A and B are shown apart, each in its own frame.
Chain A
C-alpha cells in the first residue's frame, strides 16, 4: 500500500495541558478516526491508527511546536489534512502546520521554553548566576544529582517571562520545572504561578526540528 509520511505540528495549550501523554495518544487516535482521513493502520490482531509522537510534553506544560507522525494512504492536500484534523480535535489542541518530515526524533538535542511565573526576578537571576545549580533528577535507574548550570544553553530573564534552552530528546531530557524546583529548595521561596510553554525544538545541527 502506498503511503505518505506526514508530520503534523500542533499546539497543546490551556485545558489541554492536563492531558497526560498516554491520554493524548488515545485522544489523537480518536480524532483521527473522527476525521475519516485515510491514515495507515497497524496490521495484526488489533489494528489501530499508527501515530508516533516526537517528544512527550510533561503534564501541565504547554507547547506550540509539538509534532506527531503518521502515514496517509492516499494523497491529500496538507490544507485538507489540517482542516479535517482541526475539526476533529479538542479545542485546545490545534494543528498549525502539515509537513513532510525532515529530521528524525533522534536528531533532537535541545528545546526552548518560555516560562511565566511569579518568581522574584532579582532573586532568580542571582540564583541562576551561581557556580552550580544542583538538583535531583529522577531517572529509570533511580535518583541522581545533576548540575543544571552547564546544561542551560540559553537563558534570558525578563520582567514578563523567562526564556531558556535545555537538553531535550528521548535519551537525555531536562524538564524545565527542575530549575524552578531547585530555586524553590535553594531559596525557600514559593512559586504559585508557573506556566511553561515549549516554544522551539532544535536538532544537533542547530536547526529547528521540522
Chain B
C-alpha cells in the first residue's frame, strides 16, 4: 500500500431538494486500498460513489481523485478521469440486445474517438484483450451470446470485464451483489477482490451485508443519514460495533426515530 491518496473527499454535502443525502463527508482512501462502504439503503453510499466520477455534482465540499480536482473537470478532461475509474453497478447496466463481447468493448470508448457500431469497428487488439478479460472472469466462449440471455451473476461478470477494459486505477462497485443469489454473490465478490489485489487497484465497494463486508475488505466505512459513523480496519473489528450503524440494533432505534420525527414536518411541507 503506497502513501499516495487515490481519493480525497473533504466536507462533502449533497442536497436533493431539502434532503441532505450527504452531510459533511470527509474520507481519504490510499492507493491499492480495498474499502467497503456500509449502510442502509438511503444512507448515502451510492450518492458518495457517484460523486467520485462526477456522475453527481456536490452542493458543498471538495473532491480530489487520482490527483485531479473533480469539480474543475469538464468535457475531455472529465472523460479522461472517468476512463481511469471502472464502475460496477447493482443492475449490471449492460445493453441487453448487444453481444457480450460488444458490451465488454464499450469499456474502451473513452480511448477511441468517434462512435462505434458493432464489434468489427473496434481495433483487433482491443477485441483480443476483451476476450482475455472474458476468460479472466470465467466467461470464455460466451462472447457472441446476447448479453440479456446470461444469468445475473454472469451479467455482473461481463460488467466487471467491461470495467477491466478501461485498465482502471480505481474500481467503484455500487451494491454489486444486491440483485444476485448467495452463490453468485460469493463468486462476484471474490472476483472483485482478486482482481483488485492482482492489479493493485483502489477498490470502493458499497454493501449492506455486514458479514460479507467484514470478511471481504481491508477497511470498513459506515454511513448513516449521510454521515460517516464508522471508519475502521476490517481486521479485528467486532460485529457489534459494526452493527451500530444500523438502526435495527436496539440502541440505534430511538435516535433514528428522533431523526425521523425531526424530518417529518419538513417532508410534509415538501410534499404539499
Partners in one complex: no
**Measuring CB to CB, which residues of chain A are less than 8 angstroms from any residue of chain B?**
none
